[in-house]
Protein backbone atom coordinates (compact mmCIF):
# COMPACT_ATOMS: atom_id res chain seq x y z
CA UNK A 1 0.00 0.00 0.00
CA UNK A 2 1.47 3.35 -1.05
CA UNK A 3 1.69 6.37 1.18
CA UNK A 4 -1.36 8.00 -0.45
CA UNK A 5 -3.54 4.89 -0.20
CA UNK A 6 -5.53 4.25 2.92
CA UNK A 7 -7.19 1.06 4.00
CA UNK A 8 -10.92 1.64 4.25
CA UNK A 9 -13.34 -0.51 6.15
CA UNK A 10 -16.49 -0.94 4.11
CA UNK A 11 -18.85 -1.43 7.06
CA UNK A 12 -17.71 1.82 8.65
CA UNK A 13 -18.31 3.67 5.41
CA UNK A 14 -21.75 2.05 5.10
CA UNK A 15 -22.71 3.00 8.66
CA UNK A 16 -21.74 6.63 8.15
CA UNK A 17 -23.53 6.75 4.81
CA UNK A 18 -26.69 5.46 6.49
CA UNK A 19 -26.35 8.08 9.23
CA UNK A 20 -25.90 10.83 6.63
CA UNK A 21 -28.92 9.68 4.61
CA UNK A 22 -31.20 9.39 7.62
CA UNK A 23 -30.15 12.73 9.04
CA UNK A 24 -30.73 14.47 5.70
CA UNK A 25 -34.28 13.14 5.33
CA UNK A 26 -37.39 13.37 7.45
CA UNK A 27 -37.22 9.67 8.29
CA UNK A 28 -36.80 6.71 5.99
CA UNK A 29 -37.79 3.08 5.88
CA UNK A 30 -35.25 0.29 5.64
CA UNK A 31 -36.46 -0.38 2.09
CA UNK A 32 -36.00 3.27 1.09
CA UNK A 33 -32.51 3.38 2.57
CA UNK A 34 -31.53 0.06 0.98
CA UNK A 35 -32.69 1.21 -2.44
CA UNK A 36 -30.99 4.60 -2.15
CA UNK A 37 -27.72 3.11 -0.91
CA UNK A 38 -27.67 0.08 -3.19
CA UNK A 39 -27.48 -2.26 -0.19
CA UNK A 40 -29.68 -5.15 0.87
CA UNK A 41 -32.45 -4.52 3.38
CA UNK A 42 -30.83 -7.00 5.75
CA UNK A 43 -27.54 -5.08 5.64
CA UNK A 44 -29.25 -1.75 6.31
CA UNK A 45 -31.34 -3.27 9.08
CA UNK A 46 -28.26 -4.78 10.74
CA UNK A 47 -26.49 -1.42 10.69
CA UNK A 48 -29.55 0.35 12.12
CA UNK A 49 -29.86 -2.25 14.87
CA UNK A 50 -26.23 -1.84 15.77
CA UNK A 51 -26.58 1.95 15.82
CA UNK A 52 -29.71 1.67 17.96
CA UNK A 53 -28.02 -0.68 20.42
CA UNK A 54 -25.04 1.65 20.59
CA UNK A 55 -27.42 4.54 21.20
CA UNK A 56 -28.90 2.72 24.18
CA UNK A 57 -25.46 2.71 25.77
CA UNK A 58 -24.23 6.15 24.77
CA UNK A 59 -27.30 8.29 24.09
CA UNK A 60 -25.56 9.89 21.11
CA UNK A 61 -27.65 8.64 18.19
CA UNK A 62 -31.22 9.22 19.39
CA UNK A 63 -32.20 11.83 16.81
CA UNK A 64 -30.77 9.78 13.96
CA UNK A 65 -32.11 6.34 14.80
CA UNK A 66 -35.52 7.67 15.84
CA UNK A 67 -35.96 9.07 12.32
CA UNK A 68 -35.82 5.55 10.87
CA UNK A 69 -38.82 3.33 10.63
CA UNK A 70 -37.68 -0.28 10.93
List pLDDT tens digits, range 34-69.
998 899 999 999 998 888 877 655 555 555 555 555
List pLDDT tens digits, range 6-15.
777 888 888 8
CA separation for the pair 42, 44 (Å, rounded): 6
**Residue 53's pLDDT is what?**
79
Element (H, E) at 69: strand 68-69
Spell out the domain ranges in the chain: 11-59
CA separation for the pair 28, 7 (Å, rounded): 30
Element (H, E) at 68: strand 68-69
Q: Which CATH number fits domain 11-59: 1.20.120, 1.20.81, 3.40.1000, 1.10.10?
A: 1.10.10
Evaluate if residue 28 carries a pLDDT over 60.
yes
Amino acid sequence: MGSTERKQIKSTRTAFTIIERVSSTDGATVSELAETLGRSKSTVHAHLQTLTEWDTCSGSMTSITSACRF
